[in-house]
């Protein structure tokens, strides 16, 4: 124990108690980078599940990409503050690297059943995460946790195929021209 601090132990303390006190007196010398540990972007990946647990993230899968896990932690507080709103549902899907089109019952023509909404979701796969069936089930489970409790929804999964459409569009005139040449 340092000479500047007086001992709080009684005079009849054992040598083991004094050694323990001296050891614990130096614990404040251990650096703890709290700003780094509480930031989703700088937290070491092996400590990220503990940060997620502290922020009450209910669902955590080890097969998610690092980008998805960090996005989930980053958006956890915002989602908890807005839980039960359409914005929170959009934020949950965005944390998984997707986008949604959400139409509530009063936005439909004709109006739908009260407290229902349609959800068209496109998962682009943030951070190299592929949209497997299990991954989509995880996203739907999070939407169920976030949506208003009284609301029910229909789910449709969309696909993101900009490149595939461009290739098909470019090949279509070639195929058409080839067919015309064979008929002549």
Mean pLDDT of 137-165: 83
pLDDT given for residue 46 in this prediction: 95
Query: Per residue in 79-104, pLDDT tens?
Result: 999 999 999 999 999 999 888 899 99
Separation CA 54–CA 125 (nearest Å): 26
Contact 136, 123 (CB under 8 A): yes
If DSSP codes are grouped into helix, strand and coil, which group holds residue 43?
coil
At residue 158, does pLDDT exceed 70?
yes
Query: Per residue in 31-84, pLDDT tens?
Result: 889 999 999 999 999 999 999 999 999 899 999 999 999 999 999 999 999 999
At residue 172, does pLDDT exceed 70?
no
| Highest-scoring range by mean pLDDT, 74-83, 128-137, 165-174 | 74-83
- Report the run of H or E that residue 98 belongs to, with start and end: strand 98-104
If DSSP codes are grouped into helix, strand and coil, which group holds residue 172?
helix
Q: In what order do the strands lie in the sheet with 152-158?
A: 98-104, 116-123, 152-158
Q: Mean pLDDT for the chain? A: 84
pLDDT bracket for residue 173 (50, 70, 90): low
Supply 152's token pair: 């029910």
Lowest mean pLDDT among 14-18, 29-33, 144-148: 29-33
Distances (CA, A) of 37 to 51, 59, 77: 8, 20, 16
Minimal CA–CA distance to 65: which of 90, 88, 45, 80? 45
Minimal CA–CA distance to 119: which of 135, 133, 99, 138? 99
Separation CA 128–CA 97 (nearest Å): 10
Contact 94, 75 (CB under 8 A): yes
Spatial CB neighbours of 56, under 8 Å, sequence gap ≥ 6: 76, 80
If DSSP codes are grouped into helix, strand and coil, which group holds residue 117?
strand
Domain boundaries along the sequence of the chain:
34-163
Minimal CA–CA distance to 94: which of 143, 35, 45? 143
């Amino acid at each position: 124990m340092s000479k500047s601090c007086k001992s709080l132990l009684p005079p009849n303390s054992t040598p083991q108690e004094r050694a323990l006190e001296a050891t614990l007196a130096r614990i404040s010398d251990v650096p703890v980078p709290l700003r780094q540990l509480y930031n989703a972007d700088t937290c070491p990946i092996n400590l990220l599940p503990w940060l997620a647990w502290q922020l009450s993230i209910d669902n955590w899968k080890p097969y998610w990409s690092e980008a998805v896990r960090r996005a989930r932690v980053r958006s956890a507080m915002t989602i908890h503050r807005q839980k039960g709103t359409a914005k929170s549902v959009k934020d949950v899907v965005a944390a998984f690297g997707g986008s949604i089109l959400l139409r509530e019952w009063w936005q439909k023509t004709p109006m739908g059943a009260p407290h229902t909404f349609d959800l068209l979701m496109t998962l682009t796969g943030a951070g190299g995460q592929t949209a497997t069936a299990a991954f989509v089930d995880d996203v739907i489970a999070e939407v169920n946790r976030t949506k208003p409790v009284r609301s029910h929804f229909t789910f449709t999964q969309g696909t993101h195929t900009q490149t595939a459409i461009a290739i098909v569009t470019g090949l279509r005139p070639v195929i058409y021209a080839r067919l015309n040449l064979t008929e002549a």
